[in-house]
Amino acid sequence: MVVTETKFRNVYLIQPPRDEGYGSNSRSGCYIPLGLVSIGNNVSANFSDLNVNLLDGELLSMDEINDVLNKNCGPDSVVGKDTKTPNYKSALKIARLVKNLGSRVVIGGVYASAIPELIMRHSSDVIDHVAVGYGEVPFLDILSGRRDGLIVNGTPSFNNLPLLDRGSLVNVEDYILNFQKQHPTWSYRGTNIFTHVGCKYRCLFCERTKPERGVYFRDPNKIWNEVRLLTERHGIDYLVDFSDTITQNPEFLVNLADTKPNDLNPIFHVFSTADGIDNDSINLLKRLNVQHVFVGVESGDEELARSIYKGRNFSPSTSLEAVVKLSTSGIRVTPSFVLGLPGETKESLDRTYEHARRIKEETGFEEIFCSAMIPFPGSIAFKKLRNEMKGDDSFDTDIFDSEELKKLWIERFCEIDYPTIIEYVDKILGLGTYTITIKREA
């Protein structure tokens, strides 16, 4: 589809900065907002006269973003923002600014997709469109004047989209330099990629998947074309696959390995559940030159592990076996922990810390993720908390703060207090050299 007529002249695609108080971590400024790049590339392919820009709050301050928008936005501009729970307040601030300048305002991403009706009810004065799901097609509809208000697009258009050209919208070198600064012992030119979207699991705390959404895999040949572009144009030799879990479909993993060109061999860093790690999957990962796997360990307590909905066989012993298998095979691991699961106690926190320490002894990991449980809007946990808070007007809003959600969840579902859980988060993060978390600084 090629559309050539629109009344607009400028498109600004923005990843808002994290809301005030949220600190940086070892991923900050390292990874390109690929969803926005994909939307921007698709807009450029269909509207040749549009001026398309990308502003990343991982690299720019709110003041710097506002300065660009103040100078350039007006009634001939469409401004789209990618939202997550820790940046929604910033997204609203940007929306108010550009709406006052007369621009059309679009909001999307996992946060907007989780609570679109609440956003339209409470913030329609500054937001014209909420794009639920994948934004490439809705953005074309908005530019051509075919759609208003809420737009739902639950199916990605992988095979109909242009090859991702990051360099057309961002300075790729900025991200590579940040990656190298944040990971000085890794010595790579790294960036991110997606091989698929969606997950067959329905984890308690994850807002990225819902039962009505499927798992969609990209054409392996298109993936390798993108990898070739990255290696030849940008010198990339380390690819972090931000997809949900690459081992959830063995057939796709085999196909990806079988279609790998002989002259391409960058290192891959992928995500996997513990139950997806066995001898067969490890052999396939090694064929792909996977040298690093992010594994959701979550808890060291047997009973709490069963509350996550991460598969029937998920347990601390399963996660330990998986990370040891990977490490023994020469593949590094990034273990991930979530504290504050239903029924969490001081004793279960101690078991999780000892589990993390055991994994450190067995694998010598450098990178680790740990956070207090956040019942993200859209997650099963959020629905449980909302039911618990039934009748409380504070949930009739489109603004949910991560820290406040943590505190409400812990107060109602845990047998330990918030400060103690944060103490253990810091204790577990202390086992790693490179740390990833979601929390507001004190």
The pLDDT, as a whole number, for residue 158 is 87
Q: Which of 29-33, 307-311, 317-321, 340-344 has the lowest mean pLDDT?
A: 307-311
Report d(CA 23, CA 14) in Å as an integer.
19
- Domains of the chain, each with CATH number or no CATH: 10-155 (3.40.50.280), 183-436 (3.20.20.70)
- Inform me whether the pLDDT recorded for 191 exceeds 70: yes
Report d(CA 274, CA 308) in Å as an integer.
13
The pLDDT, as a whole number, for residue 210 is 45
Furthest CA-CA distance within the chain:
63
Query: Which of 3-7, 157-161, 343-347, 389-393 ranks highest by mean pLDDT?
Result: 343-347
**Averaged pLDDT score across all residues of the chain:** 93
- Inform me whether the pLDDT recorded for 234 exceeds 90: yes
Instruction: Identify the band that residue 307 occupies on the pLDDT scale cut at 50, 70 and 90.
Output: confident
Q: Which of 46-50, 144-148, 187-191, 260-264 has the lowest mean pLDDT?
A: 144-148
Instruction: Identify the band that residue 259 occupies on the pLDDT scale cut at 50, 70 and 90.
Output: very high
Q: Residue 424 has which token pair?
A: 């253990």
Higher per-residue confidence, 54 vs 5: 54
In percent, the amount of the chain with pLDDT more than 70 equals: 97
- Inform me whether the pLDDT recorded for 373 exceeds 60: yes
**pLDDT tens sequence across 123-140:** 999 999 999 999 999 999
**pLDDT tens sequence across 192-228:** 999 999 888 888 888 764 434 588 999 999 999 999 9
Instruction: Identify the band that residue 416 occupies on the pLDDT scale cut at 50, 70 and 90.
Output: very high
Q: Which of 2-16, 330-344, 351-365, 411-425 has the lowest mean pLDDT?
A: 2-16
Residue tagged 């995500």 (tokens): 271
